[in-house]
Structure 1
């Protein structure tokens, strides 16, 4: 019994040692797990498990001797220690390898920095050479005093430029402040431009309308003749009889002329004749009266066609020019409100003549056969 107990204690002790060894090996490195598993399998084959010893009541007669088991355990312990040492050294080697890699990276970085420093040193050497050459040139051309003088000139110019920049900045500030006013003025100008265009269009349309109205008025008046200076006037007199007596006595027209209407116009003043407007029916009667209108030269009587006010105003402005051309011997005709000079329409821009004093309108119409527009057919 005493021998069995001693064997059990030995087995338990050896099992504990192997377990501790297994723990240390597993903590050292996971790569030797297969070797530790083999050792544990050998331990179980040699000694069994603690549960097997407790459940077995009969002694183990087939196990090897105690001396052999002790030698194996001792060998296993030595191998375990050796493995732990190897693992520790492997771990140290890994650390050394990592440090070598870092050192290699640091060396590469140092090489790059040394290369950059070399390049900078080369550039500095070139700069020093350039500065040395510049100093030599400066010394050849007058030295530091010349440089100081040039620097003084540069400083003065710089000051002037700064002052100019300040003035420009202030002007720009004023312009920016006035930008709103300028924009408002632009808006007003734009509105005025639109209004001017609109008024120009309206004026153009009005001019066209006035021309049409003047043309219509002319066509309504083209059969009218105006007689001025026909004796004194009294209230209640018969204007038609007065005109027919004038045609008989002054123009020797003894045949009966058909009139549409005869009336006087203007303000009535006793003893002063007012103009008489006679509307004819036939153009032949008008031509007969105008042909004999030259008989009235030197008398207070005048005969002329009736025109609209606008056309009559333009005709009056052409009378001085027509007189000038007549004195120069030109062939002149006044047709409506156009002056025909030698077969061409008179254009003030193409002629250079100074008008003389204005003459009586009715007298100018009747001055000379060439100046009478009545020779042209009415259009």
Structure 2
């Protein structure tokens, strides 16, 4: 059994024309030879990711989901630019090679980057890795260290000062996700009224040290070295990266961080091995991040509740496409239940908060 991330057969309705892709890439990437084979990475619920395999070279192609017309939500050019420029200060970004804005080629904008081959952790730690509790703790801390490192990048030196507007970031996120959630409502979705009101009431000032925020930092967007799984060699999925409040980014990661003591319904939502023996709890995660970043974090409940609400917004936007028949991916049928569970988790945070 291989532990490196594997592509599989392309899902029905999401096929690409290999001859068209081949002609485009050979016109824009000198040195390619032979005929490509195309498969699809099964993970991810937003942009679609394919493996383009040539003899002697493997490439990754990313494009928006079929049927999606909101270019701003899946801006391939923006992600392409981030990969090329952020790599100067954060050497974990894959190299990007080509960006196509001509939607007539494959029915949507896309870009092509190098394949960073390694291990991507999903729900559970593979037994083959042999990660006991001390090694799992060390990997967990390395994972947090990379987030701290990202938040300390000099984004101006990377030429990314115009990537986002840090002033008013917290307010824009709360108001923006509220509007997006309401727009994506379906008749079976929870309304989140109490949480939305609480987030607006408890909104803190922007952090005085804005940073590049990843906005989707979890283990299944991190690549581990296959020869040394304790070493992180890549970070993926930069489509939502911007400049803003690093503590909001911390809240995003906490929303995904399901620990061993969480109840069974929450465990069913887990996408990473954050419950494994040795992994830090959410409270320990925050304490370690604060120590490494040199920050005091005294209102973590707000950032965690925000992260849960934002995650629900993403989930609901995806479910909206499924509900209206814009995607046939059966994974998304259960997203409405995930949304309801996230609301209950947020209400629990609020009920026990001292803010």
TM-score w.r.t. length of structure 1: 0.18
Structure ID, larger Rg: 1
The structure with the greater share of residues assigned to helix is 1
Q: Which gives a bigger RCO, structure 1 or 2 (Cα 8 Å, sep 6+)?
A: 2
